[in-house]
Amino acid sequence: MSKLMAFEHVSLDGYFVDGRGDMSWAHKNDQEWNDFAEKNASGGGVLVFGRVTYEMMARYWPTPMAAEQNPVVADAMNKHPKIVFSRTLDEVAWENTKLIKGDLVEEVRKLKAISDLDLAILGSGTIVSQLAQAGLIDEYQIIVNPIILGSGRTLFEGVDHKLPLSLTSSRVFENGNALLHYASD
């Protein structure tokens, strides 16, 4: 059975996007952070997206600009198998991407049961919230960014019960980001 991990950026006041739906505040350009991103981009597994995050990623990573600005991550993002969950998309064009239109929770249960590869949600806050509510996320890797946004959307909107987690590791970067690894209890 594969594991499902969520890799998410949040502000210090708990938002994953600001009041306008923007998350550019989470992108820091410094060497330590870039080295971490490059090292972790090449890991195995299947990337999981909702439609909004998929469209944002698909507009950038396959481009010559991405290959020039961040060639290691661009190569990994393009080569990784990807799944996008959407009720509104009819097709996907980004290389190695599969579109799933079925019930999110049931489809992820099936994927976890049959896949040899672990699954990693990047962004996609609505999916994180639904899968957390269903108890399907095994690990959370949360990057706490040193910024207060004042408004936005929280990562766990709609979760209506407690989800106990155990901190398994942490790391603080020079740019002020703190990476917190949590396992579901």
Determine the pLDDT at residue 42.
61
Report the domain count for the chain.
1
The DSSP secondary structure of the chain, one letter per residue, reads ---EEEEEEEETTSEEEETTS--GGG----HHHHHHHHHHHT--SEEEEEHHHHHHHHHHTTSHHHHHH-HHHHHHHHHS-EEEE-SS-S---STTEEEE-S-HHHHHHHHHHH-SS-EEEES-HHHHHHHHHTT---EEEEEEES---SSEEETTTT--S---EEEEEEEE-TTS-EEEEEEE-
How high is the mean pLDDT in each 10-residue block of the chain (185 residues)?
A: 94 94 84 84 84 94 94 93 96 96 96 93 93 96 96 93 97 94 95
pLDDT of amino acid 43: 67
pTM: 0.92
CATH number of the structural domain spanning residue 115:
3.40.430.10
Q: Provide the domain limits for residue 125.
A: 4-184
